[in-house]
């Protein structure tokens, strides 16, 4: 099957006003994130003038997003329709599905949040930091709720976090099943299986559109059970001569439970490291989702006083985040604990695409300090939370959807998922690969891309939201890679002649800058400009920028940022 055989995104962009009118019995689906990248998951469903949102997550920045903390979905397409939103349904509590909720609720704090008990508890703990008290509705598997004109039914799904849900959305346009993130672990740690019976029943009733997790669509076979990780951790704990640090996602309750069990079996104490780890595990304990063996959990201050062979640190930072607990340990600047030769580091998570360089940088730093680093490529210390190809085929054959829209994945994942759907007999014309912002209509049982809405990355930098754009990021990249050169001249207002300077200073450009050769060129250029009657500061700055840029390029083969300043006196 070639790419041309798949119903793909339209190239042309349209404005909201240019979109075709949605028929009365049609359903509109717009993904504002989650297509083409892992993260920023957010899907908007429109029916009879009302909006239902499924998930509102963040995307973690890559190295080229210098200074950016997180990346949000673009709320512009719904910004003037906030009163039309009946609810935000949250499938589970991972940051790429809930991290954007505080920023959406800043626009309208009373938008109802719908999700499982653990998911809402994580969101509410996060919202406390934003001083937002949400209106929330707790739901569970096998429960049905009417949210405005949308009939919603919830299904248990197994994932790398407790209490994950899939949601079926029914209107007169048909039934849509959104799987959320899921896998089909047959031996889950908490005994909570993906509701295959419910999916099969829904399939018999008729699923008109299936939005399905694509993350592991390229991985053959079936998922490894989480239970197989426990014996591996037990063996590692038995052999470790000194301190053990286990890095995982701060929401992976099942992995934390396995670490607690292994620590108790080997008479070690456990301390949680990292604010999100402490917060999330506190929530899990309160809800009975995490069982702490007696006299096992201690504080970081207590751990620092114990012999290293008696402690286990359960840490954040499995994705190489420099400011995480593990990142600070690798850099040697954690205020309680320092890595010593003989320590064992267990990276108990998979790599989020795009984080590979950062993770291996941390691994190398830890090894250089003398630690033994164990990760999934050398030992079975993690299994994925996403269904591989075998399980996706099983789902397609069970649900038999009329139309398919792969979600949650990079382009290679979406296309691999589309191929799997077609292997089970789903028509290529009913397999839609959309991009973020594409508008997909379900009308008379068929889906089609009818246009696009504005969709861009919204950057959060500290407390600033959407104050950093692509232009600023480009400047940051240039400054980080090439440095800058500042050129300052003082010009007499009356005569246009240079009365001070030119002064040229470089930073981050070269350790031994030599600017003597460019000074007469600047003076000559400014004299020529004055002779021609050019006195505008902007025009003179442009002359300086072009001249210095050309000189630097020919002399040094470099492209630093040129910052000219013209002062009139």
254 CA to centre of own chain: 21
| 556 within some domain | yes
Q: Identify whether residues 271 and 368 lie together within a single domain.
A: yes
**Of 425, 442, 462, which residue is a domain's last?**
462
Angle between the N-to-C axes of helices 537-556 and 519-531, in degrees from 0 to 180, rounded to the nearest 10: 150
Of 84, 96, 29, 86, which Cα lies nearest the Cα of 56? 96
How far is CA 359 from each of CA 322, 362, 364, 375, 384, rounded to the nearest angstrom? 9, 5, 9, 11, 17
| 35 within some domain | yes
In this structure, what CATH number is given to the domain that contains residue 289?
3.40.50.10710
Pairing of strands 50-54, 85-89: parallel
- pLDDT the model gives residue 479: 55
Q: Identify whether residues 232 and 345 lie together within a single domain.
A: yes
Q: Identify whether residues 186 and 37 lie together within a single domain.
A: yes
Question: At 545, is the secondary structure helix, strand, or coil?
Answer: helix
The total number of structural domains that make up the chain: 3
Please list the pLDDT of the chain residue by residue as tens digits (569 residues).
344 345 565 444 565 658 899 998 999 999 999 999 888 999 999 999 999 999 999 987 665 555 566 788 999 999 999 999 999 999 999 999 999 999 999 999 999 999 999 999 999 998 988 889 999 999 999 999 999 999 999 999 999 999 999 999 999 999 999 999 999 999 999 999 999 999 999 999 999 999 999 999 999 999 999 999 999 999 999 999 999 999 888 889 999 999 999 999 999 999 998 888 999 999 999 999 999 999 999 998 899 899 999 999 998 876 656 557 777 778 777 777 788 899 999 988 776 666 667 777 888 888 888 989 888 777 888 889 999 999 999 999 999 999 999 999 999 999 999 999 999 999 999 999 999 999 999 999 999 999 999 888 887 765 555 545 555 555 555 555 667 778 888 887 776 677 777 888 777 766 677 777 778 888 888 888 877 777 777 778 888 888 888 888 887 777 777 788 888 77
| 358 within some domain | yes
**Order of all β-strands in the sheet with 150-156:** 144-147, 150-156, 165-171, 174-178, 209-213, 404-407
Q: Identify whether residues 483 and 556 lie together within a single domain.
A: yes
What is the C-alpha separation between 417 and 210, in angstroms, rounded? 12
| 379 within some domain | no
What is the C-alpha separation between 324 and 327, in angstroms, rounded? 5
Q: Identify whether residues 536 and 441 lie together within a single domain.
A: no
Across 243-365, the runs of DSSP E, i.e. the strands, are 244-247, 269-273, 297-298, 311-315, 344-347
For 396, other C-beta atoms within 10 Å of its C-beta total 22
For residue 364, the enclosing domain spans 226-374
- pLDDT the model gives residue 2: 40
**Of 374, 394, 428, which residue is a domain's last?**
374
- pLDDT the model gives residue 4: 36
Contact by Cβ (8 Å): 73, 32: yes
In what helix (H) or strand (E) does residue 478 lie, and over which residues does it extend? helix 470-482
Of 47, 404, 51, which Cα lies nearest the Cα of 209? 404
In this structure, what CATH number is given to the domain that contains residue 171?
3.60.15.10
Pairing of strands 458-461, 70-72: antiparallel
CA angle 200, 203, 207 (to 5 degrees): 150
**Of 350, 374, 398, which residue is a domain's last?**
374
Q: Identify whether residues 330 and 437 lie together within a single domain.
A: no
Q: Identify whether residues 67 and 159 lie together within a single domain.
A: yes
Q: Identify whether residues 425 and 538 lie together within a single domain.
A: no
For 221, other C-beta atoms within 10 Å of its C-beta total 10
- pLDDT the model gives residue 382: 86
Q: Identify whether residues 269 and 411 lie together within a single domain.
A: no
Question: At 326, is the secondary structure helix, strand, or coil?
Answer: helix
Q: Identify whether residues 322 and 402 lie together within a single domain.
A: no
Contact by Cβ (8 Å): 234, 246: no
Q: Identify whether residues 246 and 298 lie together within a single domain.
A: yes
Contact by Cβ (8 Å): 149, 47: yes
What is the C-alpha separation between 457 and 454, in angstroms, rounded? 10
Q: Which residues touch 527 (CB under 8 Å, ≥6 apart)?
A: 497, 498
In what helix (H) or strand (E) does residue 197 lie, and over which residues does it extend? helix 196-205
User: What pTM, to 2 d.p., does this model score?
Assistant: 0.81
| 82 within some domain | yes
| 266 within some domain | yes
What is the C-alpha separation between 54 and 404, in angstroms, rounded? 17
| 171 within some domain | yes
Burial label for 124, CB within 10 Å (0-12, 13-18, 19+), is middle
| 514 within some domain | yes
Q: Identify whether residues 283 and 336 lie together within a single domain.
A: yes
């Amino acid at each position: 099957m070639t790419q041309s055989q798949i119903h793909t995104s339209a190239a042309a962009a349209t404005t909201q006003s240019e979109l075709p009118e949605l028929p009365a019995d049609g359903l509109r689906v717009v993904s504002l994130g989650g297509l083409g990248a892992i993260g920023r998951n957010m899907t908007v469903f429109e029916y009879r003038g009302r909006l239902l949102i499924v998930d509102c997550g963040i995307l973690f920045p890559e190295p080229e997003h210098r200074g950016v903390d997180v990346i949000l979905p673009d709320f512009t397409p719904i910004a003037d329709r906030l009163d039309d939103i009946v609810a935000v349904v949250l499938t589970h509590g991972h940051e790429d599905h809930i991290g954007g909720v505080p920023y959406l609720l800043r626009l309208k704090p009373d938008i109802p949040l719908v999700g499982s008990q653990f998911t809402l508890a994580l969101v509410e703990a996060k919202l406390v930091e934003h001083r937002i008290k949400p209106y929330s509705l707790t739901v569970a598997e096998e429960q049905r709720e009417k949210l405005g004109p949308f009939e919603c039914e919830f299904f248990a799904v197994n994932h790398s976090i407790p209490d994950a849900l899939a949601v079926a959305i029914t209107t007169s346009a048909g039934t849509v099943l959104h799987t959320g993130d899921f896998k089909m672990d047959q031996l889950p740690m908490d005994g909570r299986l993906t509701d295959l019976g419910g999916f099969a029943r829904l399939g018999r009733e008729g699923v008109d559109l299936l939005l399905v997790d694509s993350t592991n669509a390229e991985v053959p076979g079936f998922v490894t059970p989480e239970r197989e990780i426990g014996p591996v951790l037990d063996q590692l704990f038995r052999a470790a001569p000194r301190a053990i640090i286990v890095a995982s996602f701060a929401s992976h309750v099942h992995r934390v439970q396995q670490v607690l069990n292994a620590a108790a079996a080997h008479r070690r104490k456990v301390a949680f490291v990292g604010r999100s780890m402490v917060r999330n595990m506190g929530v899990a304990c309160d809800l009975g989702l995490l069982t702490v063996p007696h006299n096992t959990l201690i504080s970081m201050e207590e751990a620092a006083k114990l012999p290293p062979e008696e402690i286990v640190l359960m840490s954040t930072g499995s994705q190489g985040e420099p400011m995480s607990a593990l990142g600070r340990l690798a850099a040697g600047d954690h205020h309680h604990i320092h890595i010593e030769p003989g320590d064992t580091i267990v990276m108990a998570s998979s790599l989020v695409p795009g984080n590979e360089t950062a993770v291996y940088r941390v691994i190398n730093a830890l090894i250089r300090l003398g630690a033994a680093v164990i990760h999934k490529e050398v030992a079975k210390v993690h299994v994925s939370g996403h269904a591989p190809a075998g399980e996706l085929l099983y789902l397609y054959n069970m649900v038999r959807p009329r139309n398919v829209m792969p979600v949650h994945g990079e382009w290679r994942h979406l296309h691999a998922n589309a191929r799997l759907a077609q292997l089970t007999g789903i028509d290529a014309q009913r397999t839609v690969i959309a991009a973020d912002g594409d508008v997909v209509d379900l009308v008379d049982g068929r889906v089609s891309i009818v246009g696009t809405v504005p969709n861009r990355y919204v950057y959060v930098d500290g407390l600033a939201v959407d104050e950093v754009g692509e232009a600023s990021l480009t400047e940051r990249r240039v400054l980080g890679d090439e440095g800058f050169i500042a050129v300052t001249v003082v010009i007499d207002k009356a005569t246009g002649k240079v009365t001070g300077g030119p002064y040229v200073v470089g930073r981050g450009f070269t350790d031994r800058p030599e600017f003597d050769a460019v000074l007469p060129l600047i003076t000559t250029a400014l004299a020529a400009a004055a002779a021609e009657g050019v006195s505008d500061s902007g025009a003179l700055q442009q002359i300086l920028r072009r001249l210095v840029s050309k000189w630097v390029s020919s002399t040094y083969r470099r492209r630093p940022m040129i910052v000219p300043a013209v002062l009139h006196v």
